[in-house]
Amino acid sequence: MRGKTDNGRSYYQEIEPELAKILVRENAAYVVNRHTIRRIYSNREFRKLILTRDGHACYFCGQYGDTIDHLLPRAKGGHTTPVNCVCACNECNHSKADRDLEEFTESIARTFRSE
Ligand SMILES: [Zn+2]
C-alpha cells in the first residue's frame, strides 16, 4: 500500500490482501494496480474529512466534538476508514475507550434509566 504522511513523505507498506480489500471497500484507499492500493487521505486530511462531514457534532451526544472515534475499535479489528470513523467529543471518546458501540450505547441507556 502506498500513501503520504502528514509531512508529505511517501511511504510503502506491505499489507494483507484482506485488509486491502476492506480499506478499498470502506473508501479509505483506491486500487492502483493488481498489487498496489493507495491511501486516499493522510492522517490530517482524514481527520478533517470526518470532522467536516459530521459538522463537528459528536456522533454519540451531539455536542461539539473535535476528535475522531472508531465505531468498531481498532483493538477489535476496526479500521481507520470513513465508514468506521465518526466525530466525537472528548468526553464520549474518553468514556467509550475500547468498548464497542453496542456496549457503549447500552451503558448510555443505563445512565439515562438511572436518572
Ligand atoms: Zn459526545
If you measure from the C-alpha of residue 15 to the centroid of ligand 1, how many angstroms do you get, rounded to a whole number? 33
If you measure from the C-alpha of residue 16 to the centroid of ligand 1, how many angstroms do you get, rounded to a whole number? 34
If you measure from the C-alpha of residue 55 to the centroid of ligand 1, how many angstroms do you get, rounded to a whole number? 13
If you measure from the C-alpha of residue 65 to the centroid of ligand 1, how many angstroms do you get, rounded to a whole number? 7
All residues at 6 or more sequence positions from 36 whose CB lies less than 8 Å from its CB, including other chains: 1, 2
Euclidean distance between the first and the last CA atom of the chain, given in angstroms as a whole number? 49
The domain limits of the chain are: 2-113
Task: Look at domain 2-113 and name its CATH class.
Answer: mainly alpha
If you measure from the C-alpha of residue 5 to the centroid of ligand 1, how many angstroms do you get, rounded to a whole number? 28
If you measure from the C-alpha of residue 93 to the centroid of ligand 1, how many angstroms do you get, rounded to a whole number? 7
If you measure from the C-alpha of residue 67 to the centroid of ligand 1, how many angstroms do you get, rounded to a whole number? 10
Phi and psi (nearest 5°) for 42?
A: -80, 170
User: For 18-63, what is each residue's pLDDT tens digit?
Assistant: 999 999 999 999 999 988 999 999 999 999 999 999 999 999 999 9
For residues 60-70, average pLDDT: 95
User: For 76-89, what is each residue's pLDDT tens digit?
Assistant: 889 999 999 999 99
* 44, 6 contact by CB (below 8 A): yes
For residues 91-102, average pLDDT: 71
If you measure from the C-alpha of residue 45 to the centroid of ligand 1, how many angstroms do you get, rounded to a whole number? 22
